[in-house]
Amino acid sequence: MPADAVPADAASADAASADAAYTSPPDSGPPGGSNLFAYPKNGQSADQQTADRNQCEQWAGAQTGSSPGASANGAPEYRRALAACLEGRGYSVD
């Protein structure tokens, strides 16, 4: 075996650890159509993300009198309010 060759077991272990280290962002996009995705910046748990999302959706609806399903992409006012709430709770919003 050449000096720079990596044994197959070591290569697969490296690949497995790389896979384990990467976690895909949670599916925090709403089913209602606002098309906002919130990525936790502060290590929020999945349960906390769900609670934050639900509370922010309620708050945004109360602030705007709208809901995510008001139009195909959600009302712009609702989207802005939802994004502001989620950002205030420590999420990066796309």
Q: What is the predicted pLDDT for the residue at 40?
A: 97
Q: Which residues lie closer than 8 Å to 83 by C-beta, 6 or more apart?
A: 36, 93
Q: What is the predicted pLDDT for the residue at 25?
A: 45
Residues of the chain with pLDDT under 70: 1-34, 68-74
Q: What is the predicted pLDDT for the residue at 71?
A: 52
Q: What is the predicted pLDDT for the residue at 22?
A: 42
pTM: 0.61
Q: How many CB atoms lie within 10 A of CB 51?
A: 13
Confirm if 67 and 61 have CB atoms less than 8 A apart: yes
Confirm if 34 and 72 have CB atoms less than 8 A apart: no
Show the tokens assigned to 17. 């650890």
